[in-house]
A and B are shown apart, each in its own frame.
Chain A
Amino acid sequence: MKNFWYLFAAYTFIWTAVFAYIYTIAQRQQALEQDIKALQQAMERRIGKGD
């Protein structure tokens, strides 16, 4: 079991890196979807006011 910590470190790094990436893109996705929805609602309201 020598060098166990190296194996652990490598493994931890992989999972951290991948999940950090997934997290950042999930954040981006949420922000984008919110913005799109907000814009869509704003546009519908404007059309509702009659243009």
Chain B
Amino acid sequence: MNKLGDSWLLSLIGLTGLAVIVSLYLVFVYVPTELIMGIVQRIFYFHVPSAWVGFLAFLVAFVAGIAYLMQREPRWDMVEVSSIEIGVLFSTIALVTGSIWARPIWNTWWTWDPRLTTTLVMWLYYVASLMLRRVVDSEDRRARFGAILSIVGFVNVPVVFLAIRLWRTIHPVMFSSEGFEMAPGMLLTLGSSLVTFTLLYLCLLVIRVRIEYLSSELSRLRQLSIPARS
């Protein structure tokens, strides 16, 4: 794209790398092992930030969707699709790590915890919305539909969460997913993980948006090259 953009990206990547190293140290060396769950509890420091980044990504997509419908600037559509893709990636990580964590602790591969279940439902939806983009032929329509889907999807997140939580308080299940006490060192470690994952999100977003930009450049060039035949 341009040299200035490149140097920003490189600094961002560098910063992320640093954050990863710090977080790794905090998660695996610094923070004490939790008493009841043992070392498996350390999954928590990756599981929660992944879920957070998923939520953040879908929020960004929501804003980008509104911005696109209002301004019709292609770059908003690029941000939106990129953010949803990355959101799905991190939601997948949240779901899988949640499942892996649940197995040794609660002896089940899945818990109907409201946050986890909401993540699953929204995962299905956002994957479907990415699929829809693939089967729409017109570019303009793709962007418009994508924007509407991002908006509708995100509005639904609190509603789904609320519905599931209501369902579960009336039918309480045996365990909750916050099964331990937070010691002070844990808060710091969690915070550092959150920052790291957010930085990682930003890196991936910038790189992914660039791909969208390159892709549109390619189409534009293709359009130009057609009438050049004599």
Contact = CB atoms under 8 A, between A and B. Distances in A.
Interface in B210-230: 210-211, 214-215, 217-218, 221-222, 224-225, 228, 230
B22 interface: no
Interface string B46-85: 1100100000000000000000000000000000000000
B132 interface: no
Pick from B100, B200, B204 the residue with the most CB of A within 10 Å: B100
A25 B225 contact: no
Interface stretch (B88-96, B146-154, B162-170, B175-183): B88-96
Contact of B46 (A3, A11, A40, A47): A11
A19 to B, nearest CB: 11
Contact of A39 (B46, B207, B211, B221): B221
B224 A25 contact: no
B104 interface: yes
Interface in A1-51: 1-4, 6-7, 9-11, 13-14, 17-18, 21-22, 25, 28-29, 32-33, 35-36, 39-40, 42-43, 46-47, 51
Nearest to B96: A13
| Size class of the contact patch on chain B | 20 to 34
A7 B40 contact: yes
28 contacts: A2-B39, A2-B104, A3-B40, A6-B100, A6-B101, A6-B103, A7-B40, A7-B42, A10-B101, A11-B46, A13-B93, A13-B97, A14-B50, A18-B93, A21-B86, A25-B208, A28-B211, A29-B210, A32-B211, A32-B218, A35-B218, A36-B214, A36-B221, A39-B221, A42-B225, A43-B225, A51-B228, A51-B230
Given A18-B93, A36-B218, 10 more contacts: A2-B38, A3-B39, A3-B104, A25-B208, A29-B214, A32-B214, A33-B214, A46-B225, A46-B228, A47-B228
